[in-house]
Copies of this chain bind each other. A is one copy, B any other.
Amino acid sequence: MKKIELFKEHGFKELTFSNYLAHESEYMKVINFNFKAGQQLPVHAHELEGELTIAVLEGEGEFLASDGATMPAEPGDVLVSAISEPHGVRATTDMRVLVTIAPPI
């Protein structure tokens, strides 16, 4: 058992989004991405089995999907996606999200 204090342990970067591997095991990978306003994790996908969730912890932006589709992303919003589906995040304010990938890639 371990506790991770993401808001204390992980900040923001000026040039690009900042990612912090909070946990990795045989069961899952947990990554905290922080975005300054305007930064983004571009739409991407991996041809692998499994799913991921993107949970908004703080700030606002958009979830990105294939063909330029977007969905508003606010605290408490969770995107569930196959790892093989195109997905991404764009921040309109400073924004922190928690990404969980199972099984880990």
Contact = CB atoms under 8 A, between A and B. Distances in A.
A18 interface: no
A85 interface: yes
Contacts of A2: 79-80
B23 A76 contact: no
A96 interface: yes
A78 interface: yes
**What is the total number of copies of this protein in its complex?**
2
Interface residues of A, number: 40
Nearest to A71: B3
A41 interface: no
A77 B75 CA distance: 15
A82 B65 CA distance: 32
Interface in A27-74: 27-28, 30, 50-51, 53, 55, 57-58, 63, 65, 71, 73-74
Contact of A77 (B3, B58, B65, B79): B3
Contact of A103 (B5, B27, B71, B73): B27
